[in-house]
C-alpha cells in the first residue's frame, strides 16, 4: 500500500493505493475538500483502477472526467489530484 498527500489551494488531498506493476489496482482518495456531484469522487476512483500510474495518463483521464461530469471542486484542478497520486507512487 502506498500513501501520499498534496496540500492543494483548498485543502489536503490524501491518496492510498495499491499497484500491480505500474497499474493502479486499488485507490482511495480522501481529504478536506469538496467535489460535486457528491458521487463523483467514488466514480473517479473507479475510473482510475486499471490506469497506469503515470502523470500523462492520469492527467488525461482526470481532465476528461472533469469535463464529461462537469465537476465542481472549488480551487482543485485535475493536476491537484494527479500530484497527490504521483506523490503516493514515488518510492
Look at the chain and count its residues.
Answer: 91
| Predicted pLDDT at 21 | 95
| Predicted pLDDT at 2 | 96
pLDDT at 60 exceeding the cut of 90: yes
* d(C-alpha 74, C-alpha 91), whole Å: 30
Looking at residues 59-69, what average pLDDT do you find?
96
| Predicted pLDDT at 54 | 96
| Predicted pLDDT at 10 | 85
* Continuous segment of H or E residues that includes residue 8: strand 2-8
Q: Tell me 36's DSSP state.
A: B
- Encode pLDDT of 4-46 as tens digits: 999 999 889 999 999 999 999 999 999 999 999 989 999 999 9
Amino acid at each position: 500500500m502506498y500513501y501520499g498527500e498534496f496540500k492543494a489551494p483548498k485543502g489536503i488531498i490524501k491518496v492510498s493505493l495499491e499497484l500491480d506493476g505500474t497499474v493502479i489496482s486499488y485507490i482511495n482518495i480522501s481529504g478536506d475538500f469538496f467535489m460535486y456531484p457528491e458521487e463523483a469522487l467514488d466514480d473517479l476512483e473507479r475510473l482510475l483502477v486499471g490506469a497506469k500510474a503515470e502523470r500523462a495518463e492520469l492527467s488525461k483521464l482526470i481532465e476528461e472526467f472533469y469535463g464529461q461530469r462537469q465537476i465542481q471542486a472549488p480551487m482543485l484542478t485535475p493536476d491537484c489530484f494527479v500530484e497527490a497520486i504521483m506523490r503516493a507512487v514515488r518510492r
